[in-house]
Structure formats: C-alpha cells, structure tokens
Amino acid sequence: MISKEHTFIRRRIEAVAGVLALGILMLGVRAVDLQWLQADHLTNLAEKQRYRQFTTVAPRGPILDQKGRILAKSIETPSLAAIAGEVPSDRISELAKALGISHKKLQHKLNKRKGFVWLARQVPPTVARKVMALNVPGVRQETEWQRYHPLGPETGHLLGFVGIDGRGLEGIERTWNTQLSGESGLRQVRRDARGHSLPDGHWVREPAAGQAITLTLDASIQSIAYAALAEGVRNQNAKGGSVVVMRPQDGAILAMTSWPGYNPNSFRHYRPSDWRNRAITDVFEPGSTLKPFTVAAALESGRWQPDTQVYCEKGAMRIADYIIHDDHAEEWLDVTGVLVRSSNIGSAKMALDIGARPLHNMMEKAGFGKRSGTGLSGESPGIVLPPERWGPVETANIAFGQGIAVTPLQLATAFSVLANDGVHVTPSLFADQLGQHAPTRVMSSTIARQVTQMLEYATSEDGTGSQAVPAGYHVAGKTGTAQKPNPRGGYSKGKYNAVFAGFAPVNDPQLVIIVLIDEPQKSIYGGQVAAPIFRQIAESALPYLGIPARFDHLGDEQDLNNQTWRTMPIAAEKSILDSESLFGMSMREVRHFSAQRGLRLHVHGSGWVIRQKPTATSGLKHGETLEVWLNE
C-alpha cells in the first residue's frame, strides 16, 4: 500500500517533469520563431548594428572656357565626422578647441544622434591634421568635393556658386545644376560588437562625376573686361557697371562681367543683392545708344537718306506739353549729322515722320523687349511698350532712348546686327548652342553699312565717341547719357547712366563691346566715362585675338599713346607686320620673349597676360622696359 507521502512525491516529480517538458517545448517554439519566422528581420537588425551607410556628394563637372581653360572645378577637401556615441565626454573640450568651435556647440552636435554626425565640413587641411592628431575615439576624416572658381570675382556674377551639399545656388551653377551634379555615392562603414567603427569600409555605390560644360567665354577677354570695368568704376566713384563682349558673326559671348564683383569661393561674405548678374537682370534707359536704330528705321522706310536734311530747332522743340532739348543747339543737320552730333530733336523728328509702328518693329527685330535666348536664369525681357500705346511724346522720347528699358546683353545683341551686316543672331554662352537658332535679317545690308559708317564718324574727333578709339583701329560706336528714372515717377535728379556701345574693327567687326557705368560722379557723359573703358578693352582684346593695329607710318610710343592715326581712312592704313602682342601668354613665355630680345621686364600678377605696355613690342630696343599685367 502506497502511503500518502509517496503519492505526494510522485506528483511533485510529475509536475516538475511537466514544467520541464513545457519549457523545452517553448524553447523549441522560440527557436523555430527566431531561426525561421524572424530570421530575415533579425538579420537586418544585426546588419544595421554592424554597418553604417552615408551619402557622399559626387564631384561636379568642370566649367571650361572656349579654349578649355578651367573656370570652375571641384577639388578634394577634408571634412571631419564622428560616430557620436563613441566620442568620450572627457575629450569634447579639446576636440572643440581643435575644431575652433565652442564646447556647447560640439556637445549639441554629438547629442543629436548616436550614429554618424558631421563635425565640420570642407575644412582647411591644417584643421583636419590638428583634429586627427588628437586620436579621439569615433572621430574620422572624410573626403568631400568643394567647388573652386579660379577667376573669383571676375566670373562670380556669371557662374554663380555651389552650396556645401554640392548643389548650384546661383548663376550657371544653378541653371545647369542637373548636368553638372553627377550621381552621389553611398559608402558603408563596419562596426564591431561594441559599436566601435572599424577602419575598413567600402563603396556601395561609387560617386559619378558630373558633365563638363564648355562656354563661349574667353577667360583672357573676361579678365581684360573685368579689369577695365573695375578701374573705370573706381575712377568715377560710380555705383557700379557692366560689360558685355560679343562676337557678332555667331553671337558668342566672349565676356560678361559686372562691378562690384563678389567672390563665389566665399559667397557667404556677401549680401544676396550682390550675387545678381547685372548684365542680364538690370534694365536701363539706353539713351542715345538707341538712335542708330531710329536712323535705321527711318532709312528702311525709304522716306529718309543719309544726306536728308532735318532742322533741329536750335536745341529746343515742343511736343504737346513737353520740350525736347539738345545738349548743343543745332540748326540744319543731315541724318549722318544727327547721329554724329547726337541730336535728340533730329531723332525725334525722324521717328514722328515714319510713325510708331516701323520704329517698334525695328526695335523688336533687333532684340529689344524680349529675352535673348541664352537660357540664363533671371534674365529680364526689358520694357518696350506696344506701339498702340505710343503717342507723339512717347514716340519722340523712344527715338532717343527714353521710355524704353534694355539690358546690356540686349544692347550688345542689337549692335551685333549692325556689325553683322544687318543680320540678327541669337547670343549664346554655351559652345554647343552656337548656331542652333536660324539667323534673321533685321535690315538690309546697305542700311547696316550706312549706319555703321555714321557710327564711325561718331567716333571721329568731331563726334561724341572719340575717346573710344584705340590707336591703329577704327571703331563704330555711339555714346549714351541717360538720366535714371525715379521709382516714384519722373527722373532722378543728378543720377545718370553713362553708356558706350560699339564694335571694331569697322572693316571686319570681330568684337561688339557694351559698357554701362551706373551713377558716375566725376562726369555723366558716356563719351568721357564709358568710351575710355571701351578703348581699354578693345586695345587689349583685339591684339590678343590676332588682329594687329594698322597705321600709315611708324611712330614712337608717345604718338601711339596719343592715337594720332585713329581717324585715318582705312584705305590709307599700312599693317605693321612685325608688331607683336603678348596677350594670353604665360609667365614663362613672357620671360622667354623678353630674354630673347634683351628687354627689362616688369611683371604684375600671375597667370596669363591681360595687358602690356607698350601695346606693341616691335619698337622696343635692347635694354628698354616691357611691363605686363597678368591674371589667373
């Protein structure tokens, strides 16, 4: 007979065995759950603990000038990062000191997350070396791409700049961001069981560099234009200015620059208002630089000829309640004289005679009142009212450049029509876009040549643009002096724009140059303010392009500087075959040149030559001085 005690013991054993069996069963179920049902999920969690992935920006494609010279490129630069949870708290102070930031700021960065965090991006190599020398656990150095613009402020307004994440924020960098950006990379870093990062890592997806873009810009001419503009603005204590240089045959923009400049390599030090490209965003009343197109419209009508006489009312003419004035009181002038003497009254009479619509059509075909087609963001279409809104006063005012607003680029495009035998070509800044748009005829070649001849007379000693002519070249151009409109109506007292627009050489135009100076202080006249800047650009750029000065006889340097031959007829010119220009040469080439000829060399700057004195080296003798200015 089994006692109660034995029964109790047996039941306890059975209970324990049951619990053990149930536990084994649950472990089996859990094992199946972990090994089969949750295997993928747990594997992913383990991988996330072992690996960390982060995106790296790809190098942007370079921006090149027409000769392949770099205008913008991406350079490798160190950045500092950390796995936040690995950085010892007692090392934060010395790490912050090496980074040049406060302890509080660094602590805030590290507290944001426990994983990967940027400490400082795109830092100087000296800072990176200083930080890495501390050997702080969890701190690592990464390589990023920083955008660099070699010409700095010379191309700042045009090229724009790139943010720290590699995205274009202004200018061409923004407009063509998709093509330039490339494809970002994905890098993976491995960590040990305690979460410490291991030195090895690999690319999940390597970054792919962006596409290169080639511009029609010529870096040498851009430097020449910028230097001349900067000097001219400073000499006049002006508010600012813009220059556009175009090749009239195909519309290639060789230079486009503004002042004051800003350096895109340190764009954060400037105000957003300093970033805009004034050559395409800012409009101005062109003043007398519009008169050639009034003359062209009058000639195109058939009612006027270059020798047609017009009475200029002795300097004052009333239209309705408005009085038009000329700076110089004139009586009878022919059409050529109207342009040479820049008569507002003569221009107004021609416009009133032919009517508003023919004048409007001429301006519209020349490119005024619409965007130029370059594709640059922020470009203004200008202001040209429809002819239905032109009364007699408006027609007269527009004839001499008031009541209409244009950009420097539009004015360059219009003068290219005159330089290109009456044919309009769409301006282009991108090499692969040249010739994409069919040219259109604006005026007959006969009229274009007649107006060109008048504009050449306008730069003679008797014209308003005589200071625009470099020695040994013939220029066709027009000065402009325009009072600035007041935003509240009317015109601002004492505020003017001084303009010169023209092209050279007259017999085979290679350059159209527009110079605009905003609010000059020493003089308000385009002939005294903008024309000398035109001359400085032309006398440097033309020899650089291989277009030598031409004279009827040789003379000394003083005669050259005094420009004694600038009004000489083209037929009487004689080429100086041994004249040599150094424009575009490197420092080494210049030194070699001077050494061969035994010249004393004075050099300013570095890079390639943008200016030289004297402008022709053929007359220099052994031991004489050659002075050159270079710019990278």
* Separation of alpha carbons 498 and 58, rounded Å: 45
288 is catalytic: yes
What's the residue count for the chain? 632
- Torsion of the alpha carbons at 466, 472, 477 and 479, rounded to the nearest 10: -30
Instruction: Give Cα separations from 347 to 314, 381, 382 (angstroms).
Output: 14, 25, 22
- Three-state DSSP at 193 gives coil
Closest CA to 262 of 363, 159, 152: 152
d(CA 181, CA 124): 23
CA distance 601 to 590: 9
Structure tokens at 531: 């024309």
**In the block, which residue shows the tokens 């080439």?**
589
Give the 3-state secondary structure of residue 418: helix
Residue 40's contacts (CB-CB under 8 Å, 6 or more residues apart) are: none
Catalytic residue among 288, 540, 579, 594: 288
Give the span between the Cα atoms of 206 and 184, in whole angstroms: 7
Between helices 344-354 and 392-399, what is the axis angle to 10°?
130
Return the closest-CA partner of residue 318 out of 357, 343, 345, 299.
345
Residue matched to tokens 């594709």: 375
* Peptide bond before residue 505 is cis, with ω within 30 degrees of 0: yes
Is 236 within 8 Å of 518 (Cβ atoms)? no
Phi, psi of 499 (to 5 degrees): -130, 145
Catalytic residues: 288
